Structure 1
Amino acid sequence: MAARAPLWLDYQRPPPGRQLPGIALLVGSLLLSGVLLSMSADLGRDIEATDSQVAKLRQAAERRRLFAEAAKPATESAAPAPPASASAARWETLFASLEGAADETVTLLGLTPGLREVTVTGEARDLPAALDYAQRLQTAPAFSEAYLAKYEVVREHPRQPVRFTVLARLREAPP
Structure 2
Amino acid sequence: MAKPTLLGISGSLRAGSFNRKLLAEAARLYGDATYVEADLNLPLYNGDLEDAEGIPAAVQKLADQIAASDAVLISTPEYNKGVSGVLKNALDWVSRTKPSPWPGKPVAILSATAGRAGGERAQVMLRNCMVAFRPRILQGPEMLLAQTSDQFDANGHLTGDIYIKTLTDLMEALRAEIARG
Same fold (TM over 0.5): no
Greater Rg by CA: 1
The structure where strand makes up a greater share of residues is 1
| Richer in helix (by share) | 1
TM-score, with structure 2 as normaliser: 0.27
